[in-house]
Amino acid sequence: MELKTLDRVVIKFAGDSGDGMQLTGGQFTNNTALLGADLQTFPDFPAEIRAPAGTLAGVSGFQLHFGSNKIYTPGDQCDVLVAMNAAALKVNIKNLKPGAIVIVNTDGFDSKNLRLAHYDESPLDDHSLDGYQLIRIDVTRMTREALADIELSTKEKDRCKNMFVLGFLFYMYNRKPDSTVRFLESKFKNKPEVLEANIKALQTGINFADTTEIFTSRYSVNAADLEPGTYRSIMGNEAAAMGFIAASQQSGLPLFLGSYPITPASDILHYLSKHKNFGVRTFQAEDEIAAICASIGASFGGQLALTTTSGPGVALKAEAMGLAVMLEMPLVICNIQRAGPSTGLPTKTEQADLLQALYGRNGECPMPVIAARTPSDAFMAAFEACRIAIQHMTPVMFLSDGYIANGAEPWKFPQAEDLPEIPVTFAPAIEEGETFLPYERNEDLVRPWAIPGTKGLEHRIGGLEKQDVTGNISYDPDNHEHMVKTREEKVERIADHIPLQQIHAGPSKGKVLVIGWGSTYGAIQGAVTRLVNDGHAVAHAHLRYIKPFPKNLEELMRSFDHVLVPEINNGQLVKVIRDRFLIPAIPFNKIKGVPITSAELQAAIMDIINGN
């Protein structure tokens, strides 16, 4: 059999929520990472909880893009689709490349499944798939036959179908199953029958691929030319949680998380709850308001405090965020964004909440905003959010989204000694007769952090306006205006303590500057890199710091004829740029619960270059 070497491959695993597509994709991803290929993933969960099996609403998917070159996105179109039923095929066929390999579980194309997927005729028989390499496998029947001697129910045996498919793909892409076998041995060490069934199904899939004449070629992808070092696969929520722990260690402060579970932020709570050995305390509150208020109390007590949520939870936390701004206490609010408004699409990605992060509180209520751009970047973005909160005595909004939170990529993780220290200074005790001034400020307008119980540091706290310097309650109009402007200026002075904006790809001046934030990074970087290689004067700048902006951002933008701002929303950053700099930035928006593709963006950039 011929072994073909490919530069890159995009595979989509799709089926019902109970078909184990996330597990299958995750195991193929781990196996790929161990081989040294670069990769990006995009888990695509159904928005409906327990949607009826076989329906379009119940399709769960996992897309993996891996290659021997730098991989920026999970892929625009798929080379391979694994469809466990008719609905999975119907939802994903529009994203297939011409000539793509389509592997179907024929048992999922019976009359019931076809009816639920709204097919009048089976796509396996109506020639609609003639432009693809169709591989038909009765995965359900073959899995049951392979496990006939194992004492499990039919339902339990059917749960092993994903391992059959995974074994088939392992053979097809010239892989060894050792990493998955180790995973199964760990996961099912107390369930020997389940362990035996999964390993046997995995091996059966390999054997079937080896002995059948379904295909004549196997495929291989070489390791990527990555910077030397030790890597691991990391998901965005896990990286963010590690970043918070690292900030706790580098500041010497105990870490407190007050949280209420919400998709797609809950994994941060789950991960941090496992790390009490690092001095982490997690509190699952009864609601979003209690969660942030507990975190404000922890901050007042001298801890590194954070709260995690998504857009609907941010709305509920808004008044308490205003309290934290008035108190000028360090606090990190994590918004792992999803599609809105209201409940929206809980499992779909969207850069929905930038304007909410900047303005979504009553009164003039400034707050720094930091955004992660990739799953691994969530580590340093979370670390930086903590640094700014502590050193500038302010709440900070940390933005991620479902794409970053659930996606994975290789991460060359830092060593502890390579991370910067986060110096912390508490206000010292004072002697009797001296006066403590809780809102006396340093050159950056930062007030002291006074820990309760410290001798002489008693002072008023609360949501009423403070008198400058003394912190007494004040209804004086001139003082109120002064304090509003002071709080805003304090946040703007953070720009003196963050890096200047860098160009990520392309020249420092030219025709088009593409400015992004958050999870559009990969699509922009991929599109711009290709256009630069084709000789176009196009560049990419990606913002981590959205409030305050880097000090050189306006100068950078004015070095280009046009500024394009791609966002997975209806145009939010572009509004802020137009308002702040009076630059006629051009929006490019997609609001479909899925990422922007590099091809879409490349076409939009070329339209601008061509004067369209």
**CATH architecture for residues 510-609:** 3-Layer(aba) Sandwich (3.40)
Q: Does residue 554 surpass a pLDDT of 90?
A: yes
Shortest CA distance to 341 belongs to which of 332, 350, 330?
Answer: 350
363 Rama class: left (phi>0) / alpha (psi -120 to 50) / beta: left
Q: How confident is the model at residue 433 (pLDDT cuts 50, 70, 90)?
A: confident
Average pLDDT taken over every residue of the chain = 95
Give yes or no for residue 49 having a pLDDT over 80.
no
Residues 345 and 593: beta-carbon distance below 8 Å? yes
Work out the pLDDT band at 568, boundaries 50, 70, 90.
very high
CA distances, 562 to each of 148, 199, 492, 559 (Å): 65, 56, 26, 9
* Residues linked to residue 257 through DSSP beta bridges, in sequence order: 282, 306
pLDDT value, residue 569: 97
List the single range of 174-178, 312-316, 343-347 with lowest mean pLDDT.
343-347
Separation of alpha carbons 87 and 116, rounded Å:
7
* Contacts of 124 by beta carbon, 8 Å cutoff, 6+ apart: 104, 106, 109, 134, 136
> Average pLDDT for residues 352-374, to the nearest whole number?
97
pLDDT exceeds cutoff 80 at 50: no
- Can you tell me the mean pLDDT for 91-110? 96
Beta bridge partners of 333: 307, 397
Q: How confident is the model at residue 229 (pLDDT cuts 50, 70, 90)?
A: confident
In angstroms, rounded to a whole number, what is the distance separating the alpha carbons of residues 502 and 550? 9
Q: Exposed (0-12), middle (13-18) or buried (19+): which is 421, by Cβ within 10 Å?
A: exposed
pLDDT computed for residue 539 by the predictor: 98
Task: Show me where the domains of the chain are located.
Answer: 2-221, 232-418, 510-609
Q: Tell me the per-residue pLDDT of 193-206, one tens digit each, with 9 for 90 and over.
A: 999 999 999 999 99
pLDDT digits (tens, 9 = 90+) for 451-467: 999 999 999 999 999 99
User: What fold does the segment set 2-221 form as a domain?
Assistant: Pyruvate-ferredoxin Oxidoreductase; domain 3 (3.40.920)
Total number of residues shown for the chain:
612
pTM as predicted: 0.94
Of the chain, the percentage scoring pLDDT greater than 90 comes to 92
pLDDT over threshold 80, residue 325: yes
Q: Which CATH superfamily does the domain covering 232-418 fall into?
A: Thiamin diphosphate (ThDP)-binding fold, Pyr/PP domains (3.40.50.970)
Closest CA to 64 of 20, 103, 31: 31
Contacts of range 52-55, beta carbons closer than 8 Å, 24 or more positions apart = 52/116, 53/16, 53/18, 53/116, 54/16, 54/85, 54/86, 54/87, 54/108, 54/112, 54/113, 54/116, 54/117, 55/87, 55/116, 55/117
- At residue 5 the predicted structure's pLDDT band, cuts being 50, 70 and 90, is very high
Instruction: Show the CA angle centred on residue 437, arms to residues 436 and 438, nearest 5°.
Output: 105
Residue 18 has pLDDT above 90, yes or no: no
Average pLDDT of span 413-421: 93
215 pLDDT band (50/70/90 cuts)? confident
* One fold for 232-418 and 510-609: yes
